[in-house]
């Protein structure tokens, strides 16, 4: 099985400009290729990971990756299938975000070894030296307005309004491809399927201006249950930065994917062989309630993104919370595991009597309800049931002298913050 056949078998190929020609190029010699990442945030997210891993697979097969950080295009904003124009960022912000993205990419691509080691490029390096007049004369003349208007990403926005700034984005991305083709012999661009219009603008420019053939390959967009893609503009981003999405949260995300998606995601997001995944699929289908595929998927992706120690910590948090063993976790681990539960900052003047705390923290709706909750055995402090109406929280109830976890009933957690 050649690399393109493996990419297809894993569900990583959505579209190509000329599949036969691309397969020929990939099998006959080393191909230089690139994927672009606009710094529209200070971190990449799950939506980027599909293309990143496709790029890594091609590198492992001997081809040479270029990772392009869009220091220039990030100042403009890509209109592709967005309902509204992006907010423009300052140069300083975009340059800072560009560096953070470079650092994240180094986790996945090998920038140090071999004749196919990855290289980082920033399109600000060439756009910053081009005058507006030169760009119109040397690049703009190769694009007709009719061609630009025909792109689906533009058609959708024409109905609601699109600025010339965003309208011209496809020419800028096309020029990126041309520049890399001229200077580094890059002949393949990889990106999400929503980028098809922008990416083929590059192959068109290379064909018309340089009279050479270049290729485009898109990877599928990963969507949630509602059909929305995972991205920051959609409000459901799963970040690759541990400070924005903790390893525990990333673990839980994969642990909770639907059964019908689990094996498909194993092929896309892990480096397990297709043979290994086929064996996992058999065992998984024999007892889906045990969620074997999800557990392996969560382990592999968290380890890939954050390392083995982060995976072990995420697994431990999961197991201890499931068992109710709050005391077995540190304050930092509890902050990961309970990041989405109600949080109440205890004030110096607050009464620490259990009934008063339940009311102050809005755990119980009234003092009467609070007393009933305590007497009925529905209240747990750090996993231990409390039924004494006179009980007051003390220093021994503060985990790492920072927080206390109160559980009401079987599943409703609350965090009291003393820090």
Same domain, 269 and 371: no
Q: Where are the alpha helices (DSSP H) in 72-168?
A: 91-105, 124-127, 132-138, 145-149, 152-158, 164-167
Among the residue ranges 36-45, 71-80, 341-350, the one predicted with the least confidence is 71-80
Q: Is residue 244 part of a domain?
A: yes
Same domain, 398 and 274: no
Residue 74 vs residue 286, higher pLDDT: 286
Q: Is residue 123 part of a domain?
A: yes
Provide the pLDDT for residue 203.
Answer: 95
Confidence category of residue 76, pLDDT binned at 50, 70, 90: low
Q: Count up the domains in the chain and report the number.
A: 3
Confidence category of residue 235, pLDDT binned at 50, 70, 90: low
Confidence category of residue 117, pLDDT binned at 50, 70, 90: very high
Same domain, 111 and 53: yes
What are the tens digits of pLDDT across the range 125-181?
Answer: 999 889 989 989 999 888 888 777 777 767 777 777 777 777 888 888 899 999 999
Rama region for 161: left / alpha / beta (φ>0; ψ in -120 to 50; rest): left
26 vs 44: CA distance, rounded Å: 28
Which CATH number covers residue 269? 1.10.240.10
Same domain, 213 and 236: no
Residue 122: other Cβ atoms inside 10 A: 21
Query: Locate tokens 């909770």: which residue?
Result: 256
Residue 37: other Cβ atoms inside 10 A: 22
In the sheet that holds 403-408, the strands lie side by side as 343-345, 412-417, 403-408, 379-381, 384-385
Query: Locate tokens 């800028």: which residue?
Result: 172
Q: Is residue 126 part of a domain?
A: yes
Residue 412 lies in domain? 343-417
Return binding residues: 34, 169, 173, 232
CB proximity list for 306: less than 8 A, separation 6 or greater: 242, 247, 250
Return binding residues for ATP: 232
The two tokens of residue 118 are 């990855």
240 vs 48: CA distance, rounded Å: 9
Provide the pLDDT for residue 38.
Answer: 80
Asked whether residue 11 carries a pLDDT value surpassing 90, the answer given is yes
Pairing of strands 64-69, 119-122: parallel
Same domain, 108 and 144: yes
DSSP letter (8 states) at residue 144: -
DSSP letter (8 states) at residue 266: H
Q: Is residue 329 part of a domain?
A: no
In the sheet that holds 64-69, the strands lie side by side as 15-16, 215-219, 186-192, 32-37, 64-69, 119-122
User: What kind and span of H or E run contains 49?
Assistant: helix 46-60
Query: Locate tokens 């709706």: which residue?
Result: 365
What are the tens digits of pLDDT across the range 266-312?
Answer: 999 999 999 999 999 999 999 999 999 999 999 999 999 999 999 99
Residue 250 CA: distances (Å) to CA of 228, 238, 297:
18, 7, 11
Return binding residues for L-tyrosine: 34, 169, 173
Q: Is 66 exposed, middle or buried (0-12, 13-18, 19+ CB in 10 A)?
A: buried
Pairing of strands 412-417, 215-219: unpaired
Among the residue ranges 13-22, 234-243, 336-345, the one predicted with the least confidence is 234-243
Provide the pLDDT for residue 85.
Answer: 45
Provide the pLDDT for residue 78.
Answer: 47
Provide the pLDDT for residue 97.
Answer: 81
Question: Which of 294, 323, 352 is the last residue in one of the domains?
Answer: 323
171 vs 175: CA distance, rounded Å: 6
199 vs 220: CA distance, rounded Å: 14
pTM: 0.85
Pick from 247, 250, 249, 276: nearest CA to 263: 276
Q: Is residue 330 part of a domain?
A: no
385 vs 328: CA distance, rounded Å: 16
């Amino acid at each position: 099985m050649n690399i393109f056949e493996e990419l297809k078998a894993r569900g990583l190929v959505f579209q190509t400009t000329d599949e036969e020609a691309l397969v020929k190029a990939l099998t006959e010699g080393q191909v230089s290729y690139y994927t672009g990442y606009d710094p529209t945030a200070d971190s990449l997210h799950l939506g980027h990971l599909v293309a990143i891993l496709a790029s890594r697979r091609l590198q492992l097969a001997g081809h040479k990756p270029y990772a392009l950080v869009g220091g220039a295009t990030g100042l403009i904003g890509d209109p592709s299938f967005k309902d509204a124009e992006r907010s423009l960022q300052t140069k300083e912000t975009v340059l800072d975000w560009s560096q953070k993205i470079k650092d994240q990419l180094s986790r996945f691509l090998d920038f140090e070894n071999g004749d196919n080691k990855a290289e980082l490029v920033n399109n600000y390096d060439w756009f910053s030296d081009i005058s507006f007049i030169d760009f119109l004369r040397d690049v703009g003349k190769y694009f007709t307005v009719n061609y630009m208007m025909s792109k689906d990403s533009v058609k959708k926005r024409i109905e609601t309004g699109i600025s010339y700034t965003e309208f011209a984005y496809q020419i800028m991305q096309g020029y990126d491809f041309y520049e890399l083709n001229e200077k580094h012999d890059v002949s393949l661009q990889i990106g999400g399927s929503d980028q098809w219009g922008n990416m083929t603008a590059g192959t068109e420019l290379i064909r018309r201006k340089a009279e050479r053939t270049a290729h485009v390959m898109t990877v599928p967009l990963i969507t949630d249950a509602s059909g929305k893609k995972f991205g920051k503009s959609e409000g459901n981003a799963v970040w690759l930065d541990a400070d924005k999405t903790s390893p525990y949260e990333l673990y839980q995300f994969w642990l909770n994917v639907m059964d019908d998606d689990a094996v498909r995601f194993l092929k896309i997001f892990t480096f397990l062989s297709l043979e290994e995944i086929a064996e996992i699929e058999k065992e998984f289908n024999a007892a889906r309630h045990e969620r074997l595929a999800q557990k392996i998927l969560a382990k592999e992706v968290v380890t890939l993104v954050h390392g083995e120690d982060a995976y072990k910590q995420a697994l431990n948090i999961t197991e201890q919370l499931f068992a109710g063993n709050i005391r077995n976790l540190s304050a930092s681990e509890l902050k990961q595991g309970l990041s989405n539960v109600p949080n109440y900052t205890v004030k110096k003047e607050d009464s620490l009597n259990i009934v008063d705390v339940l009311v102050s923290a809005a755990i119980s709706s009234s003092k009467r309800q609070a007393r009933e909750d305590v007497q009925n055995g529905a209240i747990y402090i750090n996993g231990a049931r409390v039924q004494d109406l006179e009980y007051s929280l003390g220093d021994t109830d503060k985990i790492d002298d920072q927080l206390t976890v109160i559980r009401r009933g079987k599943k409703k957690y609350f965090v009291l913050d003393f820090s």
